[in-house]
Amino acid sequence: MTLSTIDLMTKIHRDIDILECAIARIDLCRRDALHICQIFYALGSFLNQLQLVSSNWAAQYQDFTLDIEIEYALSLDEEAEEMRDSRKKVICTCLDGLKELILNKIKDSKNTLLECLNFSDPDVSDIATLLDAQWLMCPKCTDAWESVSPRPMVICPKCKRLLQNPRVCQRMAN
């Protein structure tokens, strides 16, 4: 079954939201504002909620989270402070690696979103409202945003709705 553009974009937006939550947790951990054992469950749960990840990407994510858990468990048994510190350093390296993996995924997802905008979707009847040379408005949530996009489709930054680009519609009608 192939996804419609709207369904695909909804799933991508949801995945990006989850990935950004994961980044926020990792950043808190790196600043010692969140204890490492408080993110094990969250990291596993984020992965389970993602809908558009390859098995290869998921395996890399799991490798990092597993390494973090193992290093943490081992650090609890270390008696020497320098050994605990060295385990902590490994945990930080894994957290940074995981963050990098997630950031790359977010970048890929955003690129896929942009590709979706390159083709006019006949299933989408809503057209963004043309306010002036630089601004568009969403007919659904009335949020206005600056856009001079030449792509046939635009996304409302607020409600994430997929809309026809009025500038391109006009050009095609003329």
Q: Cα dist. 25→13, 36, 89, 127, 143 in Å?
A: 19, 10, 18, 37, 29
Subset of residues 93 to 122 that bind Zn ion, contact rule: CB under 5 A = none
- Does 66 participate in binding Zn ion (rule CB under 5 A)? no
- Does 138 participate in binding Zn ion (rule CB under 5 A)? yes
Q: Quick one: 91 or 116, whose CB is closer to Zn ion?
A: 116
- Does 159 participate in binding Zn ion (rule CB under 5 A)? yes
d(CA 33, CA 76): 19
Q: Quick one: 98 or 117, whose CB is closer to Zn ion?
A: 117
- Does 83 participate in binding Zn ion (rule CB under 5 A)? no
Select from 36, 68, 137, 156 the one that contacts Zn ion (CB under 5 A): 156
DSSP state of 38: G
- Does 89 participate in binding Zn ion (rule CB under 5 A)? no
For residue 152, what are the contacts with CB-CB under 8 A and spacing of at least 6?
Answer: 117, 118, 119, 120, 164, 165, 168
Q: In the complex, which residues of this chain contact Zn ion (CB under 5 A)?
A: 138, 140-141, 143, 156, 158-159, 161
